[in-house]
Amino acid sequence: MKKTYKIEVDCANCANNMEDAAKKTPGVKDCTVSFMTLKMKVEFEEGADPAAVMKEVYANCKKVEDDCEIFL
């Protein structure tokens, strides 16, 4: 399953850090973050609960970029 989320991030490097953090989150098969469009596209692993996984993605992104936002 793939979902797209609106994000708020300050720079392209921050977007890359968010992407790396999201990819390391259990339940995420793949993730791309675009600074230009301010969107995060997440592909979830089979059987994963997107709502629960995105809470973890958000927490992991906050660890690397404390001023980022993901609008769930």
What is the pTM (predicted TM-score) of this model?
A: 0.94
pLDDT at 46: 96
* Domain boundaries along the sequence of the chain: 2-71
DSSP letters for 17-63: HHHHHHHTSTTEEEEEEETTTTEEEEEEPTT--HHHHHHHHHHHHHH
Which overall architecture, per CATH, does domain 2-71 show? 2-Layer Sandwich (3.30)
Residues sharing a CB contact under 8 Å with residue 34, sequence separation 6 or more, in sequence order:
15, 40, 41
**φ, ψ (nearest 5 deg) of residue 53:** -65, -40
pLDDT at 37: 97
pLDDT at 13: 95
Task: Tell me the pLDDT of the chain (72 aa) as tens digits.
Answer: 999 999 999 999 999 999 999 999 999 999 999 999 999 999 999 999 999 999 999 999 999 999 999 998
